[in-house]
Amino acid sequence: MPRIARLIIEDGCYHVITRGIEKKQTFIKDPDYQRYLKLLKKCKKQLSFKLYGWCLMPNHPHLIIFSNSLSKTMHMINFSYAQYFNGNYNRTGYLWQNRFKSYVVQKDKYLLNLIAYVEYNPVRAKIVTNPEDYKWSSYRARVFGEDEFKLLDPIEL
C-alpha cells in the first residue's frame, strides 16, 4: 500500500517533527544539540528557509519552518545529523523513525499558539519547571534575545 502524499504548498509554513527510532534518544549530550543547531544554521544559509520556532527534545526535534523546499531541507538536516550521531556513538542504521511528519500552519494566531506549544514542550515533559530553563528551544531567543546560533527569524503574519 503506497504511503499518503505529503501536503506541500507554495510558500508553506510547517510544524515538522522527526522522531527517533523506537522513541530512542537522538540527543544525548550537549554537543549533540549544538551539532543539530549548527546544521540548521548551515541549511538555512544554503536553502533560505525561515525558522519561527524550535525545540530539541531528547528523542525528537520540533521545527516551525517556512520553506519552499521542505523535503530537501529536512533530508539535508536529518541525513547530516544521522551521519554525525552514528559516527559519534559508533552505531549504524536508521536514527529516525519513519519519515518526518509535517503539518501545514496558517500564518495567523494559530502560528503564535503553536510556537508557545513547541517552546513549552520541556515543561509539559517535566524536564524543566520554566521554559526559560531549557536551553534547547527558541524560547530564550524569542523572549530574551539570547540567540547563540542566530536561527530565529521574525514572524511575518
What mean pLDDT comes out for the span 143-152? 93
Q: Which H or E run includes 51? A: strand 50-57
In a domain, 154, yes or no: no
Taking only the tens place, the pLDDT of each residue in 1-40 is 556 666 667 678 999 999 999 999 999 999 999 999 999 9
In a domain, 18, yes or no: yes
Q: Compute the mean pLDDT over every residue in the chain, rounded to the nearest whole number.
A: 93
- State the total domains in the chain: 1
SS3 32: helix
139 is in which domain, residue-wise?
12-144
What is the pLDDT at residue 134?
97
In a domain, 129, yes or no: yes
User: What's this model's pTM, rounded to 2 decimal places?
Assistant: 0.93
Question: For residue 45, what is the domain's CATH number?
Answer: 3.30.70.1290
Residues 6 or more apart from 139 whose CB is under 8 A from it? 55, 119, 120, 131, 132
In a domain, 84, yes or no: yes
In a domain, 110, yes or no: yes
In a domain, 155, yes or no: no
What is the pLDDT at residue 157?
74
In a domain, 153, yes or no: no
What mean pLDDT comes out for the span 91-103? 93
In a domain, 3, yes or no: no
Taking only the tens place, the pLDDT of each residue in 30-76 is 999 999 999 999 999 999 999 999 999 999 999 999 998 899 999 99
Rounded Cα distance, 99 and 82, in Å: 13
